[in-house]
Chains A and B, each alone.
Chain A
């Protein structure tokens, strides 16, 4: 078997890469190890409006469970801050408070179908075991389907194989991650919880989600994604989740999702001769929020386009594929770098610090926020001043 482009992984990054490579006339095969595109869900399903601009698509009710117009943050002491009342222009990727809760099972499959419509072939229940390399360059994959091993040649392999990042590791582009850089996540889709159907809720605190946070994202009238990510804890994410939802009497889960999110920022190099790396596999995730749908979408699109162009030029060496790395870094590189700095600073925040910050925000709504009030506040909290100094 031989294709222009083989895409490993059929979620957001993989399907979108397949779609755009196919649109640009490449002969594409997408390989998915699971039996069904979009399952199991490993995502809180919240995203920004920008993803539809990136994909030149109109949002469709079939895969949008809820429209979001605001968010509330809950400090460890229970203080709730409505973000509409404080400055947050950059929240949700510069689109203010507007965003969507997707139905990833439907959305991912929709994207795969778009790729197929553009000409991509898809293999299900097929696990990629190895990269094929010749003279130091990647030129295909070894895959296994129902016990049968096959070699599939390709001019470009796009690795969208998720947090495990096997392909990038085999190509020598990354090493195993440190456990402190992986958000260990568990989530219920919970029935019977009565919250504002257009608001996100975030809970912080060492008792709730150490090293991370808990989210509640409304999924329409009936259910809410209640999930959390934790880091370096003795108890499991699942135990923290059960502990939190025990407060909600009369609710019951209809789905349990788990996953690991890479929070270390992007890998240093996302290309080599014959290979591009996309999405979680490349660390295309915001280290503060753990969100990455819009980043994976942009990177998947760019990878597909650059791969197809390289095939047309009959040059799939790194000198051409490098363009992919340049384009996505220009768009997201700086933001991800800053976000990693913020994450490192936030890691040092104690519950007391977070409560103090929440109290400050509550007292100083955006119109009242002044330099003097900020200086007074920091004078009272030298620990926070140190953290801010680290960020500058």
Chain B
């Protein structure tokens, strides 16, 4: 998934649903470790749409 820092409100909703547990909420940003399995959970729960599918992905 693509993460857009400027769309992120640092709420942690994405962290709660990441099955790979690669997202971490720090003081003022979400960091993403390698290992994303492109499940799309983060795109569903993010209130501001900070996560998007990679270009070319068909939903």
* Stretch of A12-20, A157-165, A313-321, A379-387 lying at the B interface: A157-165
Which residues of A are found within 8 Å of B13, using beta-carbon distances? 163, 182, 184, 258-260
Contacts of A232 in B (CB 8 A): 44
Q: A176-B16, A176-B17, A177-B17 are in contact. Are A260 and B27 (CB under 8 A)?
A: no
- Whole-angstrom distance between the alpha carbons of A127 and B26 in the complex? 6
Within 8 A of B (CB), among A125-167: 125, 127, 162-166
A102: interface (CB < 8 Å): no
Known A-B contacts A33-B27, A177-B16; A238 and B49 likewise in contact (beta carbons under 8 Å): yes
If A42-B11, A164-B12, A258-B9 touch, whether A176 touches B44 (CB-CB below 8 Å) is no
- Interface hits, A1-55 → B, CB 8 Å: 33-35, 40, 42
Q: A162-B12, A177-B16, A260-B12 are contacts. A127–B27 as well, Cβ < 8 Å?
A: yes
Chain B residues in 8 Å Cβ range of A278:
none
Pair B17/A179 contact, Cβ less than 8 Å? yes
The closest CB in chain B to the CB of A232 belongs to B44
Q: How far is the CA of A105 from the CA of B4 in the complex (A)?
A: 27
Is A252 an interface position by the 8 A CB rule? no
| A179–B41 CB distance below 8 A | yes
A238 to B13, CA, bound (A): 14
Chain B residues numbered 31-59 whose CB sits less than 8 Å from any CB in chain A = 41, 44-49, 59
Q: Which of A176-209 contact B (CB under 8 A)?
A: 176-179, 182, 184-186
Answer whether residue A310 sits at the interface, using C-beta atoms and an 8 A cutoff. no
B48 and A169 contact, CB distance less than 8 A: no
Chain B residues positioned under 8 Å from A234 (CB to CB) = 59
A258 CB contacts on chain B under 8 angstroms: 9, 11, 13, 47-48
| B18 nearest in chain A by CB position | A176
- Decide: B27 and A35 in contact? CB cutoff 8 A: yes
Interface size classification for chain A: 20 to 34
A184 to B17, CA, bound (A): 11
Least Cβ distance of A181 to chain B in Å? 8
Q: What sequence of 0s and 1s flags, for each residue 1-34 of chain B, a beta carbon within 8 Å of any chain A beta carbon?
A: 0000000011111111111010011110000000
Q: Once the chains bind, are B27 and A236 in contact (CB under 8 Å)?
A: no
* Contacts A236-B46, A258-B47; A166 near B11 (Cβ below 8 A): no
Bound CA–CA A184/B14 (angstroms): 10
A164–B25 CB distance below 8 A: yes
In angstroms, how far is the closest chain A Cβ from the Cβ of B21? Answer: 6
A260 to B48, CA, bound (A): 11
* Residues of the B chain whose Cβ atoms lie less than 8 Å from the Cβ of A178: 17, 41
For the complex, give the distance between the alpha carbons of A179 and B16 in Å. Answer: 8
Would you call B45 and A182 a contact (CB within 8 A)?
A: yes
A177 CA / B45 CA spacing, docked (Å): 11
- A236 — which chain B residues lie within 8 A by C-beta? 46-49
Q: Does A262 contact B (CB under 8 A)?
A: yes
Instruction: Decide yes or no whether A68 CB sits under 8 A from chain B.
Output: no
Which A residue's beta carbon lies closest to that of B27?
A: A33
Bound together, the chains give a CA A162 to CA B49 distance in angstroms of 20
Q: Is A288 an interface residue (CB 8 A)?
A: no
Q: A163, A165, A169: which has the most chain B beta carbons within 10 Å?
A: A163
User: In the complex, which residues of chain B have a beta carbon less than 8 angstroms from the beta carbon of A276?
Assistant: none
Cβ-based interface call for A214 (8 A) = no
User: Which of these, B18, B19, B27, B46, contacts A184 with CB under 8 Å?
Assistant: B46
- The answer to whether B47 and A164 have CB atoms under 8 Å apart is no
Q: How far is the CA of A51 from the CA of B26 in the complex (A)?
A: 30
Q: Decide: A186 near B48, CB < 8 A? Known: A35-B27, A164-B25, A179-B17.
A: yes
What chain A residues lie within 8 Å of B24 (beta carbons)?
166
Q: Closest CB-CB distance, B44 to chain A, in whole Å?
A: 4
User: Which residues does A use to contact B, with CB under 8 Å?
Assistant: 33-35, 40, 42, 125, 127, 162-166, 169, 176-179, 182, 184-186, 232-234, 236-239, 256, 258-260, 262
- Complex A-B: 9 CB contacts under 8 Å: A33-B27, A163-B13, A179-B45, A184-B44, A184-B45, A184-B46, A236-B46, A256-B9, A259-B47
